[in-house]
Structure 1
Amino acid sequence: MVAKQAQQLKKVLRPVHLWAIAVGLVISGEYFGWNYGWGVAGTIGFLIATVIITLMYVTFVFSYTELTTSIPHAGGAFAYAYRAMGPIAGLIAGYATLVDFIFVTPAIASGLGSYMHFLYPSVGILPSAMVFYVLFMCINIAGVKESAIFSLIISILAVAELLLFMGIIAPSFKTENFVHDGMPFGWNGIFAALPFAIWFYLAIEGVAMVAEEVKDPKKDIPKGYISGIATLVLLAFGIMILTGGITNWHKLSNIDYPLPEAIGTVLGKTNGLTKIFAGIGLFGLIASFHGTILAYSRQVFAMARSGYLPGFLAVVSPKFKTPHWAIIAGTIIGSVALYYCKTDQIIIISALGAIVMYVMSMVSLFVLRVKEPLLERPFKAPFYPVFPAIALIITLVCMYAIVVNNPILSLVFFAGMLVVVAIFVVMGKHKVKITGEHLLQKSELLTED
């Protein structure tokens, strides 16, 4: 067993850090990945899909913030579902969250490798992606405050670059380019594009996983979440619309570096600024890559601390106060996915994990409103029950769309979930009550061997 002092996280984060983490977790989605949505829906079809998903995320974030401030725990949806519906529900939410964040990380690593390959064709995508993995694993182990400061700097640079990108390509925007062949697959294309629209915002929920490290979670978490989603909405629509109007969008719909290619179209591929932009573009990818490692490690830590994963994954480094084994374990799994899977496949699996987690979270919110009406709620979802209901309905539609359009990947995801639940029940873990503050502070029950 591990000592209780080895399971305490350090409270150092403020609203500006949370904004940086929220934006940093997601901002790679503005740089690549979303453009695969054009390939299955066209520009107009994907625009409609993005409007639907934006509505889902706005209502979800306002609703999810209620849960995060009421139960500020590193487990996020795992903790909320456990408190609302019990251990098996908590396990399902935790499994979905792990899939969400552990798989989003290799997708971003692939994007980093592709950008490096664009800059230096002699550099292989996979080797450079693995170098980034090891480097940022070490940075995250070094300490959460240091990680948060790094996130703040890199997120500001990434946002500034996207604003610069929009300023450069805006004069070349032509409406006829954007609307040409805008819905080649009709309404079916919109459903197929939903997981790629999710990529614009996927992982913002990761802010919940640093809740135990926030100085004043009741006040600071809402500020971080709301400012983060506002920034991302503006960037998502600006990037997507302007990029779609500068050339034939088909040329950008199946590559991992659409923005450098777009800049090259406007300025010329031999223009020195094109290479400079691609180099700076690494900031956005690095911000998200760094942030998702931070998020998945806290999820692994929280589930291990609660007995849902091997106990050694809950050990916190005595020197750095970070869950180093959780960080290392996620890196190993992500590296395997990076080696065996294509980028669009990883995005779809990650999106499916996110959607299942969103469903479990919104159901938990409704259950807790009935089950624990007196629970302290420093921030309440506005327009309840309308906002969480909208978020829940759209997430269910997204789940259906992903399963119908990706049956094999969906089968793998849900088969994995069934196996995990079966093992959990056979081992009798569902009968073990987790006690302590915010449900999961099990460290008080543990002693050294």
Structure 2
Amino acid sequence: MTTLARKLRITDYFSLGWGTMVGVGWLVVMDDWLMRGGSLGGILGFAIGGILLLPIGYVYGKLVMAMPDASGEVAYTAEVFPQSVSFFTGWMMLLAYFIVCPWEAVAVGRIAAYIVPALDSIELYRVAGKPVYLPHLAIGLCLTGLLTLLNYRGVRLSATFQNWTTFGTLALFVIFVGIGVTHGSTANFSPLFTHTPFISILLVLQIVPYYMTGYESVTKAAEESNPAFRSEGFLRAIWAATIVGFVFYIIVIAAVGFVAPWQKLIGTPFMTAVAFEHALGSRWIVSIILSAALLSLFKVFNGNFVAASRLLFAMGRRGLVDGRLATVHPTNQTPATAILWVGAATSACMFLGSAILVPVSDVGSLASAIGWCAACAAYLCMKPPARERAIALLGALVSIAMVLMKVLPYVPGNFSRWEWLALVLWLVTGILIGHPRGSEENRQSR
């Protein structure tokens, strides 16, 4: 039987983990972050959220070292919980990864139109009052097709693309932040909080799971490690991705708050770029920022594409979804059918436009926290040593708190009826097309 190609190294796993985590939120929705928490509230929200994720990352590292299975949370929960729990966990994590793909495919059109305003033309229709333009669709569909082909042809091609875009993003980030912070004032940080300090930080903490999802994607490519790869590298890659991730967010929020009076820029498209342009009085800095954003978009799209296709493939192998999704290409050694499915579904969802994708993306934040909680709970049930048990318990409690922040009605920023509707529709879809009980034969397979 053909197996997945084993070609990934520790650098590839870092690029996958960090690249899947950090997208273009730092450019596209910076005004939302600052309106939620203020400059200091945003910084503290991501700092606290990132630090609280380290125990969860540790648990994932220990689990993937013991079970290098592409199904990730599905495999971990299957060791100690009923198969229906594994299916639910996997289905939620699939949403967390997959929904990012059409979201990024839509975002690339928006960024391109900011560079070339003429692309905001040929309106096809409106969804929830927001226009869907033909050029935006065309650009997004072309990018989706390119990444589908890249992943179909081989994991080494995909990993090389991920490495170049990841380190290219980091290099451009260092350049524009380094230049930008020579112009600014600490007076621009005001107001430090938009509500009370507690509420400001809480509102930012609610979105941390969505913007920090990705470090655990390392586990989805665990079966594709180079034969010489040492399993400890999984944990190092996960922690490095997590730490670099939340430090990146902290720096970019601090930089925007420093270079310009951020309150006056609320509501402007791509606030991060506008803030730096305001500080330097020049358009060239915007070109650097938009270049970094495009590279970042490519890598987060590709990273989530890899994670979603591997998870779908592994669920098919276990009989939790159609077994044909477990097909491996005989020459390329890639999960070919799962890759084509993710590509086709991404293309279809693009036609919904950003108006529909926003609430579904918010559900992705909840889905991630559920998956993290399930992984920590599974590790606890495996009776690890006392120190590791305490870490797993902390990770589970953090995950539960993140879930409760989204669903409890009296917590500011909780789910709206549209987000509840999106969650219900996703669960119903899973029940209709999935096989929550799996099959005995496939349950025993890796």
TM-score after normalising by structure 1: 0.85
1: CA distance, partners of 2:6 / 2:80: 26
Indicate the residue corresponding to 1:248 in structure 2: 261
Q: What is the correspondence of 1:70-219 to structure 2 with a 5 Å cutoff?
A: 70-123=66-119, 124-180=135-191, 182-184=193-195, 187-215=198-226, 216=229, 218-219=231-232
Code of the residue aligned with 2:334 in structure 1: it is: T
Task: Evaluate the alpha carbon distance shift between residue 17 and residue 418 of structure 1 in structure 2; reply closer, same or farther with a 3 A threshold.
Answer: closer
Task: Evaluate the alpha carbon distance shift between residue 47 and residue 273 of structure 1 in structure 2; reply closer, same or farther with a 3 A threshold.
Answer: closer
Indicate the residue corresponding to 2:127 in structure 1: none
1: CA distance, partners of 2:303 / 2:67: 21
Superposition RMSD in Å: 2.6
Code of the residue aligned with 1:260 in structure 2: it is: A
Q: Deviations over 1:46-86 (max 9, x none)?
A: 23321331122212111111111111100111111112212
Q: Deviations over 1:193-252 (max 9, x none)?
A: 334333442222111100000123523312322222232232121111111222232455
Task: Evaluate the alpha carbon distance shift between residue 306 and residue 94 of structure 1 in structure 2; reply closer, same or farther with a 3 A threshold.
Answer: same
1: CA distance, partners of 2:268 / 2:397: 32
1:391 matches 2:395: yes
Give the deviation of 1:348 after TM superposition: 0.9
Moved more, 142-151 or 107-116: 107-116
Gaps of 5+ in 1: 374-379, 442-449
Moved more, 107-116 or 178-187: 178-187
Are 1:59 and 1:388, in contact at CA under 8 Å, matched by a contact in 2? yes
Q: Deviations over 1:121-149 (max 9, x none)?
A: 12243432222111111111110011111
TM-score after normalising by structure 2: 0.86
1: CA distance, partners of 2:378 / 2:295: 36
Indicate the residue corresponding to 1:284 in structure 2: 296
Moved more, 230-239 or 247-256: 247-256
1:433 matches 2:437: no
Match of 1:367 among 365, 381, 395: 381
2: CA distance, partners of 1:226 / 1:181: 29
Task: Evaluate the alpha carbon distance shift between residue 421 and residue 18 of structure 1 in structure 2; reply closer, same or farther with a 3 A threshold.
Answer: closer
Runs of 4 or more above 4 Å deviation: 251-256, 420-425
1:338 matches 2:342: no
Are 2:59 and 2:375, in contact at CA under 8 Å, matched by a contact in 1? no
Indicate the residue corresponding to 1:320 in structure 2: 332
Code of the residue aligned with 1:415 in structure 2: it is: V
Q: Deviations over 1:139-163 (max 9, x none)?
A: 1111001111121122111111111
Match of 1:21 among 5, 16, 36: 16
Task: Evaluate the alpha carbon distance shift between residue 38 and residue 332 of structure 1 in structure 2; reply closer, same or farther with a 3 A threshold.
Answer: farther
Moved more, 331-340 or 249-258: 249-258
Gaps of 5+ in 2: 120-134
Code of the residue aligned with 1:175 in structure 2: it is: T
Indicate the residue corresponding to 1:12 in structure 2: 7
1: CA distance, partners of 2:118 / 2:77: 48
Match of 1:419 among 404, 415, 428: 428
Indicate the residue corresponding to 1:268 in structure 2: 281
Moved more, 410-419 or 77-86: 410-419
Code of the residue aligned with 2:73 in structure 1: it is: A
2: CA distance, partners of 1:70 / 1:256: 46
1:63 matches 2:76: no
1: CA distance, partners of 2:324 / 2:278: 51
Give the deviation of 1:181 after TM superposition: 5.7
Are 1:30 and 1:239, in contact at CA under 8 Å, matched by a contact in 2? no
